[in-house]
């Protein structure tokens, strides 16, 4: 019976869903529920956060949007479905996603961890048994780690000499997926998912305008943009539950791209 189910599981069609695939290999309802909940939390909300803030920043930086769109059209044209190799060759796309993850990490902080042994690294002393946590959001915006322009949205920091200056000697300053042996198992899937969505969006859309006034509940309060950790330009209201999200939603107008010739 198990062998038959395994054979069936290898037959995949466009109509298959995650749920139908799970049902083929197990009838344990608790396991199925747990796996679906895990995917929805870890694979939906996190990528939704990344795409939300990527679209926001592209709306705020039309020059970056146009540069990204030019890269996309030069590789896949206005209609072709991108392959894995296509996405891998879109260096600026990856830089845009990384910069979004830097400023808006979906998981903004880690759960408290009890250190098993005393840690001493002058001038820091952490006794054994101490509950500790770190805030990825704050680390990603520290000027001592990322340079004087740490608060600025600039995808080129992942392409130019700043990579060698800041990131290469200290890769643990960039932790949207955590790092080390407990790095997120879905990291590459998340990159591909977000990349695919942005490619398909910008094949169809040539401009994005941020219009928070459409939904007054999404408008940031007075003085919000001048809060610590902001460069003074933030106009989207960041909030957190388990993951980061835009309070009141992200409201934009998109301009449909005109018919363009295949490249």
Residue 246: phi and psi, rounded to 5, are: -90, 115
* CA separation for the pair 8, 24 (Å, rounded): 7
Tokens for 96, please give them. Answer: 């845009």
Q: What value, to the nearest 5°, has the Cα angle with vertex 191 and ends 84 and 236?
A: 135
Buried b (16+ CB within 10 A) or exposed e, 24-48: beeeeeeebeebeeeeeebeebbbb
CA-based nearest residue to 24, from 11, 40, 43: 11
The answer to whether residues 250 and 218 touch, using CB atoms and an 8 Å cutoff, is yes
Answer yes or no: is 135 a known binding residue.
no
* CA separation for the pair 22, 31 (Å, rounded): 9
The answer to whether residues 206 and 79 touch, using CB atoms and an 8 Å cutoff, is no
Annotated binding site for heme: 184
Annotated binding site: 184
């Amino acid at each position: 019976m198990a062998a038959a189910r395994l054979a069936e599981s290898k037959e995949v069609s466009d109509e298959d869903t995650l749920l139908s695939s799970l049902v083929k290999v197990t009838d344990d309802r608790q396991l199925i529920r747990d796996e679906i909940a895990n995917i929805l939390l870890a694979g939906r909300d996190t990528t939704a956060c990344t795409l939300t803030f990527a679209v926001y920043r592209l709306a705020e930086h039309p020059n970056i949007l146009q540069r990204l769109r030019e890269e996309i059209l030069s590789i896949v044209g206005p209609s072709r479905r991108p392959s894995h190799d296509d996405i891998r060759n879109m260096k600026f796309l990856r830089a845009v996603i990384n910069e979004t993850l830097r400023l808006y990490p979906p998981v903004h902080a880690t759960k408290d961890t009890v250190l098993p042994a005393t840690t001493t690294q002058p001038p820091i002393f952490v006794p054994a048994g101490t509950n500790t946590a770190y805030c990825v959001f704050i680390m990603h915006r520290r000027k001592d780690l990322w340079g004087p322009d740490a608060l600025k949205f600039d995808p080129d920091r992942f392409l130019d000499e700043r990579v060698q200056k800041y990131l290469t000697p200290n890769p643990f300053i960039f932790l949207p997926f955590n790092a080390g042996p407990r790095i997120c198992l879905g990291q590459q899937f998340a990159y591909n998912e977000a990349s695919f969505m942005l490619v398909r969006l910008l094949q169809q859309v040539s401009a994005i305008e941020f219009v928070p006034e459409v939904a007054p509940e999404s408008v940031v309060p007075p003085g919000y943009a001048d809060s610590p950790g902001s460069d003074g330009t933030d106009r989207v209201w960041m909030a957190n539950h388990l993951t980061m999200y835009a309070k009141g939603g992200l409201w934009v107008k998109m301009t449909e791209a005109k018919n363009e010739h295949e490249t």
